[in-house]
């Protein structure tokens, strides 16, 4: 299924295609900077992208979908993607708490483990 088709289906009850496109553009541009890669499971990444788009639409900012939005709103932009703690989270466990961005080492290790 293409991104456009999938986005159209989700737009019926979740985020709009415009919000999804905005999030996808942000995610691609952030990864292009080179510090991190995407979490190595496309279905997981897609779920985070949809969650970010839903929050963008409902709350005006890309609040992390892995944290309660009402709590996040009390923390300024700290929990707006890319959130303040994501560097520390990736350093500690290899991926951010939402499992959107991951370190190169983590992604390489996951690929190696899957091959085995």
Where along the sequence are the contacts to another protein (CB under 8 A)? 13-14, 41, 43-44, 47, 51, 65-69, 71, 89, 92-93, 95-99, 113
**Distance of alpha carbon 59 from its chain centroid, rounded?**
16
- Number of neighbouring beta carbons within 10 Å of residue 32: 7
Rounded Cα–Cα distance for residues 15 and 74 (Å) = 23
Residue ranges of the alpha helices (H) in 14-94?
17-32, 42-59, 69-73, 86-93
Q: Contact at 8 Å (CB) between 82 and 89?
A: no
Give least dist CB 34 to another protein, A: 23
Question: Based on CB atoms, which residue is closest to another protein, 60 or 68?
Answer: 68
Give least dist CB 16 to another protein, A: 14
Question: Based on CB atoms, which residue is closest to another protein, 7 or 89?
Answer: 89
Rounded Cα–Cα distance for residues 73 and 103 (Å) = 27
Question: Based on CB atoms, which residue is closest to another protein, 32 or 70?
Answer: 70
Give least dist CB 30 to another protein, A: 18
Question: Based on CB atoms, which residue is closest to another protein, 21 or 44?
Answer: 44
């Amino acid at each position: 299924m293409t991104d456009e088709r999938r986005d159209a289906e989700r737009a019926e009850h979740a985020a709009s295609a415009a919000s999804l496109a905005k999030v996808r553009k942000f995610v691609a541009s952030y990864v292009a900077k080179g510090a991190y890669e995407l979490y190595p499971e496309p279905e997981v990444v897609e779920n985070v992208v949809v969650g970010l788009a839903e929050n963008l639409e409902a709350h005006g900012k890309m609040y992390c979908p892995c944290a309660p939005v009402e709590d996040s709103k009390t923390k300024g932009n700290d929990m707006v993607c890319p959130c303040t703690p994501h560097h520390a989270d990736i350093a500690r466990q290899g991926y951010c708490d939402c499992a959107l961005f991951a370190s190169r080492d983590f992604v390489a290790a996951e690929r190696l483990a899957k091959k085995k």
